[in-house]
Amino acid sequence: MSDAPFACSRLDASLAEPLASLFDRAGSSCFCRYFTFEGDKNAWLARLAHEPDANRRELLAQAREAALSGVVATLPDGTAIGWMKLEAATSLPKLYAQRTYRSLPCFDGPRSGVLAVGCFLVDPAWRRRGVARGLLRAGLELARAEHMSAVEAFPRRAEGAPAEQLFTGPLALFTTEGFEIVSDQTQYPVLRLVL
């Protein structure tokens, strides 16, 4: 993707404000905090409605941490146009505790060194222009550089669904990048790429 008009980089403090601005422009008050939020669904909905600034602050704080938490796509002027949450599986217990994924045999065994793709956010003006693929490829490079053992993904299988409903990424994105299905549930397969 060297000819792409955007660059994909690991989230750090320098990319925090541009990333938060992407969430603002997209009207997404979650700021990618759901999987780390400790409350239940009703508390989450209340937070989205009444305390979106708390989510924004947490995203900005996370960007200052050393741990890998995601990849940001930016234009040459520094505008963020895409985001992919990529974090240690052990840091996202809420993702794995969802009814759809809870107790699946594919998650047996050592979890150290496993990363999870939690979600994507691509600026609507930049959708279907290779941003998600660029983010995923950059994330896989980072995972290999950090000697991770695998990356897991949770796409939704839904033909004709709008992009907003495919926030975990389309199935074809992962399969064309070498991910294999390790749990073939009808709408919610689990994919893994062993590094």
- What pLDDT, on a 0 to 100 scale, did the predictor assign at position 2? 45
Per-residue pLDDT at 3 exceeds 70 = no
Rounded to whole angstroms, the maximal C-alpha distance in the chain is: 45
Give the separation between CA 152 and CA 10, rounded to whole angstroms.
18
Q: Which domain holds residue 108?
A: 7-194
How many residues would you count in the chain? 195
Closest CA to 155 of 130, 181, 129: 181
**Mean pLDDT value across residues 103-121:** 92
Give the separation between CA 74 and CA 35, rounded to whole angstroms.
24
Per-residue pLDDT at 4 exceeds 80 = no
CATH number at residue 110: 3.40.630.30
Whether residue 2 is contained in a domain is answered as: no
Give the separation between CA 145 and CA 138, rounded to whole angstroms.
11
CA dihedral 144→148→150→154, nearest 10 degrees, is: -90
Give the separation between CA 3 and CA 184, rounded to whole angstroms.
35
Per-residue pLDDT at 182 exceeds 50 = yes
| Residue ranges of E strands in the chain | 7-10, 70-74, 80-88, 114-122, 150-153, 180-183, 190-194
Whether residue 20 is contained in a domain is answered as: yes
Whether residue 47 is contained in a domain is answered as: yes
Could you tell me the pTM of the whole model? 0.92
Per-residue pLDDT at 1 exceeds 50 = no
Per-residue pLDDT at 105 exceeds 60 = yes
Number of domains comprising the chain: 1
Whether residue 1 is contained in a domain is answered as: no
Tokens of 47: 């937070």
